[in-house]
Amino acid sequence: MRNLVAFMLALSCCSTLVLTTEVSADEVSPLEVNVSEVLANDRLIDVTDDTAQALSPAQTPDSDLLDHLRLIALAEPSAQRHQWLHILHQGSAAQRLESSDNIYQDIVNFWQQRQVPMRGGVEPLARDEFNPLSDRQKSLAIEPKSNMYLAVMNHVRRMLWLDENADWPVIDPQGLLRRNDGHASIPAIAARLSLLGDFHGAHQGYVLTPALESGLKAFQRRHGLKDDGVIGPKTLSWLNQLPIERARLLAVNFVEQSRYQAQLDDSYLLVNIPAFEMVLVDKGQIVLHSRVIVGKSYRQTPIMSGAISNLVINPTWTVPRRLLRQDVLPHVRKDGRYLAEKQFDVFNYQGQKQLLTAEEWQSLAYTRFPYKLVQRPGEHNSLGRYKFHFNNDKNIYLHDTPTPELFANAERALSSGCIRIEKVAELANWFAVHRVNDKRTWRRLQSSKHKTQWFSLTHSLPVHLVYWTAWVDEHHLAQYRSDIYHRGVQVPIDLVKN
C-alpha cells in the first residue's frame, strides 16, 4: 500500500488494459504541472476488449475534458453541466469551442472550492502560459493533482460505457445459490461477473461451477462481503447495482478523498468507517493496517477529526448514562450479580463507593439508578488493554476489546460508537516508540494488568474518521462498501447520464 485510498487490501482482478492516445514530446506544457510525466505514459483505460473500440479517443472529441466533466457531473450534477456534456459529446466544433472556456472555469472552480490542487497550480487559468496551450494540455492542467485520478476515471468510463451499451436486468434466483447448484439465472450471473471484471473465461450451462465460484468470491471481497461463494441477498444486491450508480459512487468518493488528502499531514491515523479499516501513516508511509469495529447503525461512529493526545494502559471505563440505561441495567435486572461479575464499582455522585447486595442492585435497576459505574481494569474491561484518547464532545476514542473474535466478521458495525482496533498492541507499541514521553514507566507497566496509567505524548497524532464507500485500490481494482449508515444522497440519474 502506497497511497491514501489503497489501505483496504483486496485481490486484483484487472481487465485488459487498452492504450489510448500517444502524445508527442512537443506537447509538453510549460505550466508547473509536470505534464511531461503524464504524457510519457499512455493514458490507460481499464476495459474489456469489447469496449475498447467504443472508447477510442478518435470517436470522442475532447475526450479528456469530456471525461473530467463527466466525473464532476456525477459528483455534483447540474442542468448546465448536463448541457455541456451534450455539447462535448454530440455538438459541433463551433459549439464546443464556444463552451470550452466556461467548462474550464467551472472545473477549476469546482476543485478550488474544495481546496484540491490541480496539475497546473492553484490558478491555472490565470497563468499567461495557459491560453497558448493545446486543448489537450489545457485539459491536463486542470486535472486534480491526484495519483488516483486516471485509475478512477478509467473505472468511471467503463461503468458509463456499460450503462449505455449493456443490458442490466434484475437477477433474482429466489433463494440462495452455492457451488454446484443449478439454476436458470446462473448464465446471467456469469455474464454479470464477466462484465464487472471478476470472472474471466467462458461459462456454459446452468451450474455454479468452481471457476464461477472463484470469480464470485473475488466479487465479494471487493465489496467487503464474506467471501463464501454463496449468492445471498447482499451479494445479489451488489450484482444488481446499475453501472451508473457505481460510476457515481466512485466519482463522489473520489472528490471527497481528494479534498481530504489535500489537508492531511505527513503522519496521521485514519479510520474508514464503512470499510471497517484503519491505517497509520508515518512520514508519508503506511506503517500499520488493521481491521476495526465501528458503531452500530443506531449508535453510529461520527465522521470527525481530532488529535490523539494520550495513551492509557489498563484503562478503567466510566459507563455513559445512555449505555448504562440501554445496556447495563437490563442485565442487572435479570441478575443482580452482574455488576460484581463484570468488575464494576458503583459510586454516588459525591464520589463515595456504594456496597450493596445483589438483590438490592437488582431492585435499584428498575429505578432511575442515581449512581455512576466504573469498570476496573482487567480481562472483563470493555476497553481492553489500551485506550487512545482524543478530546471530543462525543466521547469517542479508540481502544482494545475483550472480544477479539468479532474481527473475523465481514461486517463489523458492532460497537456503541467507539472504535475497537484489532492490531491494538502494534499501534500501542508504535506510540511507545515514537510518541510516549515516559518510556521507562511504559516498559515497567507492560507486566501489569491492573494498574491504570495515562501517558502524555511528545506531540499529538491527527486522527480522522471518514466515510468512504468506493475507491480504486493500489492494484487499480474498484472497491465498494455498503452504506452502513444510509448516508447516501440520491441524485436524479437523468442528470448524470450522458
Residue 418 annotated as catalytic: yes
Residue 123 φ/ψ region, left for φ over 0, alpha for ψ in the -120 to 50 degree band, beta for the rest: beta
Residue 200 annotated as catalytic: no
Q: Is 316 exposed, middle or buried (0-12, 13-18, 19+ CB in 10 A)?
A: middle
Q: Which of 469, 123, 116 is nearest to 259 (CA)?
A: 116
Give 312's contacts (C-beta < 8 A, 6+ positions apart): 386, 387, 388, 389, 452, 453, 454, 455
Query: What does the block give as the cell for 363?
Result: 431492585
Strand partners, 99: none
Given 399, 434, 464, 486, the catalytic residue: 399
Given 13, 223, 389, 418, the catalytic residue: 418
Q: How do 372-375 and 317-318 pair as beta strands?
A: antiparallel
Per-residue b or e along 355-390, where b marks 16 or more CB atoms closer than 10 Å to that residue's CB: eeeeeebbebbeeebebbbebebeeebbbbbbbbbb
Contact 246, 159 (CB under 8 A): yes
Catalytic residue positions, numbered = 399, 418
